[in-house]
């Protein structure tokens, strides 16, 4: 009788250990570290800032003036803006428009 109780306790401990191991499994992050650095080190962050300082280069890159780009962005900004989530930040309307025009 006592041996049966010990076996049941051992089995219960094994099952409990398996449940704990399932909860502790390594989880992958949804975004890669490279993507997380997009805001500071990405192509858009660096290139767009430089292009805004040079009218001619901006026109060569996007085939429109800075003033026209800003006007177009003003008209469609609210329609193409996405919400930031807990998991990741959204792509800015400026970046969406540059990608579309490029």
Is the residue at 41 inside a domain? Answer: yes
Residue 11 has a pLDDT of 80
Residue 23 within a domain: no
Residues contacting residue 1 through CB under 8 Å, at least 6 positions apart: none
Q: How many independent structural domains does the chain possess?
A: 1
- pLDDT tens for 28-72 read 666 777 777 777 888 888 899 899 999 999 999 999 999 999 999
Global pTM value: 0.64
- Per the CB < 8 A criterion, the answer to whether 94 and 52 are in contact is no
60 lies in a domain?
yes
* Residues of the domain holding 70: 29-101
Q: Decide if 19 is inside a domain.
A: no
Q: Can you tell me the distance from the alpha carbon of 86 to that of 94, in angstroms, rounded to the nearest whole number?
A: 21
**Does residue 56 lie in a domain region?**
yes
Which of the listed ranges 1-10, 55-64, 85-94 does the model predict with the highest average pLDDT?
Answer: 55-64
63 torsion bin: left (phi>0), alpha (psi -120 to 50), beta (else) = left
Q: Does residue 90 register a pLDDT over 80?
A: yes
Hey, what's the torsion of the CAs at 38, 64, 71, 83, to 10 degrees?
-20
Residue 18 inside a domain? The answer is no
pLDDT value at residue 5: 66
Give the pLDDT confidence score for residue 50 in this predicted structure. Answer: 93
């Amino acid at each position: 009788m006592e041996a049966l109780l010990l076996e049941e306790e051992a089995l219960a401990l094994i099952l409990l250990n398996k449940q704990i191991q399932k909860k502790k499994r390594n989880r992958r992050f949804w975004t890669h570290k490279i993507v997380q650095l997009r805001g500071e080190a990405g192509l858009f962050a660096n290139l767009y800032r430089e292009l805004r300082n040079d009218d001619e280069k901006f026109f060569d890159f996007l085939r429109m003036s800075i003033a026209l780009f800003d006007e177009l962005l003003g008209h469609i900004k609210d329609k193409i803006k996405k919400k930031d989530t807990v998991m990741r930040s959204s792509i800015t309307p400026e970046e969406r428009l540059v990608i579309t025009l490029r």
